[in-house]
Structure 1
Amino acid sequence: MTGTRGKGRAARRPEAGETPAPQEADGAVMALDLAPSAELSPETRAYLDKCREKIGFVPNVLLAYAHDGAKLDAFAALYNDLMLAPSGLSKLEREMIAVAVSSVNRCYYCLTAHGAAVRELSGDPVLGELMAMNYRAAALSPRHRAMLDFAVALSEAPWTIEEEDREVLRDVGFTERDLWDIAAVASFFNMSNRMASAVDMRPNRPYHDAARGPADA
């Protein structure tokens, strides 16, 4: 069996003295040649239009799933429930989990998209970078440190989770439902990271530039 790993898209290296081309300039959504379905439901099309209206573009993750309306609907419904529905976890906390898990998995798409969300929700671009690079270097509250330690342990070695790990979360004030939500968000992003990496999903350019200014700007 011949090895094939590492043979994904090969970027041409610039010649000496040549200005590097802007990254993501080709607007590619992913490596698979799957066009959006022409049979998306009116509700799904309205959802994509709402994305354009609210943030100015349709996230590439949705366009990637749009080759199959049922898969797009299932993905969007679960994402919206986990990340936007009422929860004992704030939206920022859920985004912090997303980025810490994506850092473990080195998921380019999710680190870029959800790193931007952490910067926007926290008003702190440094925190966004810390979540992506190494959350342990951040000055976190005991609540947030315990939350991220649990999410990362669940990502790296899920078979090691025991009652004492859940008890640590209870000790810093998380409820039983909060424990469920922490685990659910971490689990979702482990799945999403693997799909994004498998198809070389590319983040929309605006994510790179979002919320880069100082917190008091």
Structure 2
Amino acid sequence: MTTATLDTLDRLAGLTEQDAAYSTRRLREKAALATQACETLLFSEALSASLTRTERYLLASEQARITGVAVLANYYREQALQADTATQATHAALFQVIAQPGSLSGDARLDAVLSFVRSLALHPATSDKSHLLSVTEHGLSVDDTVLLAQQIGFVAYQARLLVGLLALTAIGGQTEVVTTQQDSTPFVHPANLPAPGEPLRRHGFTSETLGWNAWLPVLDPATASDEQQRVLDISHPKARTMDFYLLLCRQPEVLLERSQAFNAIMYAPGGLARAEREIAAAAVSRINRCVFCLAVHAQRFEQLAKRNDVMAQLFDEPDTAGTNARERAIIQASIILTRAPNQFGVVHLHALREAGLSDLEILDAIHAAALFGWANRLMLNLGQEVYAT
């Protein structure tokens, strides 16, 4: 295999086809292809009317810098330089801002966008409706604001997946899985918890089914384009009545590619058990305080595992959650990837291996945790959860 066939994450992680991490990643080829397709699409020339490709690259660089993933920040800055060779003067203010971290450009549109990106980089729950509406009030169309939100979510995902791959490369491949002694005591449902199937409500979090309302105007399905109609049909059986899909389908190609990535990560056969992927998703959602995502994935875990004890622990105190070594290792790795991806490293993979996870299971856990850095940002910053009346 030649270098030209390696994708962005392969190259930035320094992978070659001789590396164990490269081989493990190829076992999730659909996820790798979907990830690259999302990057290619999000930074395509024709996708945005009010955010140039150079601006999008520079905003991605700024987000990666704040996230602490320098190799990704440098990559996007280099992409901006290559894209802007003919119009450096047009984007001089934004280039200067990126060269002086934390500064502003003096341009109201760019500064509103920068504020939105920076607020979402590490602490998405602190960004709110006012941050979002400031972007549209300063000149971005609703369609381009949705594109920007998808880009921010993607870069959050990409940065966390990259540091996971760097750690997987550093630790080296392992052909034999370390098995841990598991407790063989039959499971007894804790008496203090509601029975599986009943809503679990603790500390402002819940496993009940919630609604979600967008803060921006959504599509009218009756007037949607043929492409939007097609993507709505593919996305979800109830997509035509759900604000989330009706808003994201303002960028139908991006929604479609994101759905491909989501499905390839959460539903791929083999590897990490489906229920354990839901644990990673729930742990990230708990740290990011995404009530909607946590409700969905706590409920899915319970449906798969027929218990809710670990979800109750996550609702109560995520830093000590987990009913066994595997769950604790998955939760702790997901937490550090969420809170401080620049600190994620080999030590966290050792804990996963010692808990009995294979390299493919570790990659699945990293994928799921990284993915919900994307999902949470969309849910938290484009709208708000709604409780059933």
5+ residue gaps in structure 1? 10-26, 209-217
1:67-216 aligned within 5 A? 67-136=250-319, 138=321, 140-202=323-385, 205=388
Aligned pair in 2 of structure 1 residues 58, 92: CA closer, same or farther (>3 Å)?
farther
Spell out, residue by residue over 1:140-193, the C-alpha distance to the aligned partner (whole angstroms, 9 max, x if none).
Answer: 110111111111111111111221221111111112222221111111101211
Query: What is the identity percentage for the equivalent residue pairs of Structure 1 and Structure 2?
Result: 22
Aligned to 2:225: 38
SS at the partner of 1:29? Answer: strand
Distance of 2:367 and 2:228 partners within structure 1? 28
Q: Distance in 2 between matches of 1:148 and 1:191?
A: 17
Structure 1 residues 189 and 59 mapped into 2: Cα distance closer, same or farther (>3 Å)? Answer: farther
After TM superposition, the structure 1 = structure 2 runs for residues 37-76 of structure 1, keeping only pairs within 5 Å, are: 37-40=224-227, 44-48=231-235, 51-52=237-238, 60-76=243-259
For structure 2, the residue ranges without an aligned partner over 5 or more in a row are 1-110, 112-125, 131-210
Describe the SS at the equivalent of 1:73. helix
Q: Kindly state the Cα deviation for residue 85 of structure 1 after the two structures are TM-superposed.
A: 1.4
Residues in 2 aligned to 1:42 and 1:57: alpha-carbon distance in whole angstroms: 9
Q: C-alpha separation between the residues in 2 aligned to 1:76 and 1:97? A: 18
- Structure 2: distance between partners of 1:188 and 1:102: 11
What's the CA shift for 1:103? 0.5
8 Å CA contact 1:119–1:125 kept in 2: the answer is yes
| Mapped partners of 2:272, 2:241: distance in 1 | 26
TM-score by length of 2: 0.41
* CA 1:78–1:201: 2 relative to 1, 3 Å: farther
Distance in 1 (alpha carbons) for counterparts of 2:386 and 2:246: 11
Query: What secondary structure, in the 3-state scheme, does the structure 1 residue paired with 2:299 have?
Result: helix
- Change in 2 beyond 3 A, CA 1:125/1:142: closer
The alpha-carbon distance between structure 1 residues 149 and 64, as it changes in their structure 2 partners (threshold 3 A), is same
Moved more, 171-180 or 101-110: 171-180
RMSD in angstroms over aligned alpha carbons? Answer: 3.1
* 1:31 aligned partner, one-letter code: W
SS at match of 1:32: coil
* Deviation digits for residues 59-89 of structure 1 (CA, Å, limit 9, x no counterpart): 6543332222112201211111111111311
Bigger CA radius of gyration: 2
SS for the counterpart of 1:202 is strand
Question: Helix, strand or coil: the match of 1:40?
Answer: helix
Q: 1:168, 1:87 → 2: CA distance?
A: 21
State the TM-score, normalizing by the size of structure 1. 0.70
Q: CA 1:60–1:131 in 2, change beyond 3 Å: closer, same or farther?
A: farther
> CA 1:46/1:34 → structure 2, altered by over 3 Å: closer, same or farther?
closer
Tell me how far 1:106 sits from its aligned partner: 0.4
In terms of fraction of residues, the more helix-rich structure is: 2
Q: What's the CA shift for 1:38?
A: 3.0
Checking the alignment, whether the CA contact within 8 Å between 1:64 and 1:201 is kept in structure 2 is: no
2: CA distance, partners of 1:38 / 1:204? 31
